[in-house]
Amino acid sequence: MSYFELKDNDVFINTIEANPDYFFYIHSGSVYLNNHQHDDGNRDATALGVDPGHISLFEYNVDRPLSERIYPFITKSGNKETFKTVSKTSWNTQYNYDGQVIAGSYNLSASISRETMSSPSSKLRALRSALNHYHFWSSSFEYSNYQSDVTMINIPSIFYGSSLKKGQVNLKMYLEGQLVAEATDENRRGELVSNNVVVGTVLYDEGILLLTGSSTISQYGTNQTRDLRWIDFGEHMFDTSNMDTDHLSASFGLNMQGVSQIQNMTILAKAPEGMLNHSNNPTYLQADVKPLEQYHTSSYEYIEKNRKVKNVVHSEQAIGEPPFQKETYISKICIYDKHRRLIGVCKLATPMRKSEAKEYLFKMKIDL
């Protein structure tokens, strides 16, 4: 095994920007994520163990009844580590002294949520700084625009990463399957525009849509005539109470892309010619000489029999052994820190034959 020092030009870090695309379809109180049908499990009510329209963190307990689920736990100790769901008071009072297990649970889920308000709620008031921040893009972010009849659609960050992608937020409203209105942020400045009218705004970093369009787009309903407005977007999402058959006519689509940045380290490792042609592996030497069995010893000396390097040179000829050359097979590359502590191992799918005349450049990548 040989060590080589990585120079500045051998290590570089890139940032990859990914744009995850999600589509939420809302109809009759249900939310469908990316047009996936609800998947009944064989052993549990749902295959993913979360409600329809939700994303499952880790997708860990697939089709497992409650009693058979994987769950995390830590042992109470002086480090005072615990789960976020365990309060300081609980930690102090409910788990005795050191050594008791503090258990958590998986199947954490997330989905979009909707909130309507006729006057600014505490959540909207908390967004005032954010609205001010976006204000230089558009006067539509003026806080005074949100004093009555606002619908807030909240998209959890697990769906988009660091922010929603500008110009890729699209809202559609359907009546009886027909598209009746569409709003997009085509200007890429946070305004949701439908028919040249601003009907809401997008807070990209926060993943929040604020809909204010209160003019009637269309009317529907046989039991009762109802107005369809942008502030009705996502009505009865995850909530079937007070819903009647008229509501089944309306459905809503929300399409968005996120911006997720992943840092990626690339390391170039060179196997120069004339080097890395010897191995300390036991199998590098011929096996017919057994060092512990074939040795010479006397009162003055202990001499092991010399062992030969195994000739593994490739030959097209079936007859005769090809001329010996020092050859190795590079099967893995290890990365060490400056204290020569092993911090990473990169394995090749197929070992590379390395002769004295050949040189290779291995390109290793790791997501940070």
Partner 1 sequence: MTFKPLNENDIVNTRTLLHEAIPLTGSIISGSYVTNAAPDNIKYYPHGMFQTVYDYPYASSSANHVFDVTCGFSSQSALVAGPNGMETKKNNIYGQMAQLLVGYNATGSVQLFDEDGNLFDPVGDKMKEIFVVPFSRLLVKDEIKKETFQMILDVDTHATTQPFTNTLTISDLGASNEYRVNSPVGEYGILYAEDNSSILDLVNHGNADRIKTVDSVDYLRCGLIFYQAGIAVLTGSVFGNLLTTPLAGATSEIFYNDGSNDLGIDDVFASSSIDDCGSSLLHRVQNIQFNNTTELNSTVYFCRVNHNEFNYSSNPTYLENSRVRVKTQSTDEPVSYITTIGLYNDRNELLATAKLSEALKKSPSTEFTIRARLDY
Binding region for partner 1 (CB under 8 A): 39, 41-43, 47-48, 59-60, 62-64, 68-75, 79, 81, 282-283, 285, 287, 290-293
CA-based radius of gyration for the chain: 32
Of residues 81 and 176, the one with the C-beta less far from partner 1:
81
With tokens 């004295």, the residue in question is 356
DSSP 233: T
Q: Minimum distance from CB of 133 to partner 1 (Å)?
A: 12
Q: Minimum distance from CB of 75 to partner 1 (Å)?
A: 7
Cα distance between residue 317 and residue 167, in whole Å: 64
Of residues 133 and 166, the one with the C-beta less far from partner 1:
133
Q: Taking a C-beta distance cutoff of 8 angstroms, is the pair 211, 148 a contact? A: no
Q: Minimum distance from CB of 158 to partner 1 (Å)?
A: 17
Of residues 86 and 193, the one with the C-beta less far from partner 1:
86
Token representation of residue 229: 């407005």
Of residues 248 and 346, the one with the C-beta less far from partner 1:
346
Q: Taking a C-beta distance cutoff of 8 angstroms, is the pair 66, 113 a contact? A: no
Q: Minimum distance from CB of 359 to partner 1 (Å)?
A: 30
Cα distance between residue 364 and residue 240, in whole Å: 52
Q: Minimum distance from CB of 281 to partner 1 (Å)?
A: 10
Q: Minimum distance from CB of 316 to partner 1 (Å)?
A: 26
For residue 287, the Cα-to-chain-centroid distance in whole angstroms is 49
Cα distance between residue 265 and residue 346, in whole Å: 13
The 10 Å Cβ neighbour count of residue 246 is: 14
Of residues 78 and 177, the one with the C-beta less far from partner 1:
78
Q: Minimum distance from CB of 101 to partner 1 (Å)?
A: 8
**Burial group, residue 316, by CB count within 10 angstroms (0-12, 13-18, 19+):** exposed
Q: Taking a C-beta distance cutoff of 8 angstroms, is the pair 32, 25 a contact? A: yes
- Collapsing DSSP to helix, strand or coil, 282 comes out as helix
**Burial group, residue 16, by CB count within 10 angstroms (0-12, 13-18, 19+):** exposed
Q: Taking a C-beta distance cutoff of 8 angstroms, is the pair 69, 103 a contact? A: no
Q: Minimum distance from CB of 72 to partner 1 (Å)?
A: 5
Of residues 101 and 319, the one with the C-beta less far from partner 1:
101
Q: Minimum distance from CB of 333 to partner 1 (Å)?
A: 18
Of residues 292 and 349, the one with the C-beta less far from partner 1:
292
Q: Taking a C-beta distance cutoff of 8 angstroms, is the pair 272, 355 a contact? A: no
Of residues 295 and 324, the one with the C-beta less far from partner 1:
295
Q: Please, what is the Cα angle at 60 between 58 and 65, to 5 degrees?
A: 140
Long-range contacts of 223-229 (CB under 8 A, 24+ apart): 228/173, 228/175, 228/180, 228/181
Residue 181, strand partner residues: 173
